[in-house]
Structures are given as structure tokens and as C-alpha cells.
Amino acid sequence: MKFGKFVKAALACAVCTALFMLTGCNEEAKEQMIADSKAFCEDFKNMDFDAMYALTHDGNKYFNDIYVPDAEGSEALFEAMADNLEYEIGECTIKGKNASVSAYVSNIDMNIIMSNVLNEYFELCEADPENINNIKLDDIIYDKAYDPVAQRRNANTVFNFIKQDGKWVMESNVMIYDDVTGGYMTYYFQANVAANSAMSGVEDESETASEESVSTEEEEN
């Protein structure tokens, strides 16, 4: 009888110890994921994009095609987004093989900023076409992006984590990059689609005009 009670007590103690160790490991993992989420945002504010990529599971370099320091306006644009980023990191939740960290992320609304920047740029070009080379895109970007009343884009962001080689690693996806940039990723891709569509339309019209010209020549002959 005493032996049976001893076995039950030992088993209960073992279960409690295992639960304690599991809880401790989970808490440590949660702290690390929260720290990684904060680091992701801080790296963007410091414009250390390679450090951002290194935090993700596949290291996908989302800014490679859109951040071109030598291109007019690119450096100013990213500096403005980095300076205007505000964030609050929330709690971490682990559910089986998946985990997530909630966050509140705010930046200037880049869809509105870019629309205002381009409108002013083209207005200035149209008003003084002979002075186009002296119109500085950087100046317009700084003027619009640092306007105290510039509209902001607020997002309830979720940093998802997956297990990779036994370690929790941030899942790479375009939405977290879109949120820290104030929607600039969405704006960029939509602008590209619109530009490609317009270019395709011009090419189609050119081909149609060429075919009609050939047809007319054949009829005349």
C-alpha cells in the first residue's frame, strides 16, 4: 500500500517536472520570437535589410528590386519610411507546430504619399518643361513624407513562426514587409502591373496599326 502511494507520488512529481520544463522552454521560445519581431522592425528603421532577411526562414530579399540607392528618389523614399515607422510588439502564442507574435505597426500611407509625390512632380514638369532637370524628386518626397499631417496606415500585423531545424524561425511573407513600409509593397506591385498593362496595350495597338497598313498596301496593289 505504501509502495503504491510512493509510485503515484513519483509519477505525479515526474509529470509536474516535465510540465514545468515544457512551460519554461515555451516561455524562452516566446521571448525569442518577440525579440525577433522587434529586431525585424528595428532593422527596417536602421535600413539594415540584410539583417531583416536573415531573421526569416528563407531569407527572401523582398526589397532587392525596389530599393536602388543610386536611383533618384529611392534612398529618400526608404529613409522616409524608416523614419516614420512606429510599432508595438504584443504577445506570442504557440499552437503545436505554429506560433505567432501580434504587433501594431504604423507608417505613413505610401499609396497616398506616392500619389501626391507624382502628382506634384508632373505638375512641376508641365508648368516648366525647360526646367525639368532641376526638379528634385527627393525634395518632393521629403516634403510629402515628413508632413506632420500626412495620413498614416495602421496595421494589426502578425509575425508567423515555423519550426526549422528544431528552432522557431520567422516565416517570410510579403505582408510583413508591406506593413512596415506603410503599404509600399502593394503600391509598387500595383503600379508595375498597371505599367505593364499600359505597355502591352501600346504594343497591341502598334501591331494592329502595322497589320492594317500592310492590308491597305496589299489592297492597293
Which one has a higher pLDDT value, 209 or 9?
A: 209
Residue 174 backbone dihedrals phi, psi, to 5 degrees: -65, -25
95-150: per-residue pLDDT in tens? 988 999 999 999 999 999 999 999 999 999 999 999 999 999 999 999 999 999 99
Percent of the chain whose pLDDT exceeds 90: 71
Q: How far apart are CA 171 and CA 157, in angstroms?
A: 13
- Look at residue 11 and tell me whether its pLDDT is greater than 50: no
**Three-class SS of the chain:** CHHHHHHHHHHHHHHHHHHHHHHHHHHHHHHHHHHHHHHHHHHHHCCCHHHHHHCECCCCCCCCCCCCCCCCCHHHHHHHHHHHCEEEEEEEEEECCEEEEEEEEEEECHHHHHHHHHHHHHHHHHHCHHHHHHCCHHHHHHHHHCCCCCCEEEEEEEEEEEEECCEEEECCCHHHHHHHCCCHHHHHHHHHHHHHHHHHHHHHHHHHHHHHHHHHHHHHC
- Look at residue 208 and tell me whether its pLDDT is greater than 70: no
Per-residue model confidence (pLDDT) at position 150: 97
Given a contact cutoff of 8 angstroms between Cβ atoms, the answer to whether 57 and 170 are in contact is yes
- Look at residue 6 and tell me whether its pLDDT is greater than 80: no
Per-residue model confidence (pLDDT) at position 151: 97
* Domain range list for the chain: 2-187
- Look at residue 90 and tell me whether its pLDDT is greater than 90: yes
- Look at residue 20 and tell me whether its pLDDT is greater than 50: no
pTM score, whole prediction: 0.79
158-177: per-residue pLDDT in tens? 999 999 999 999 999 999 99
Average pLDDT for residues 67-91, to the nearest whole number?
A: 96
* Per-chain mean pLDDT for the chain: 85
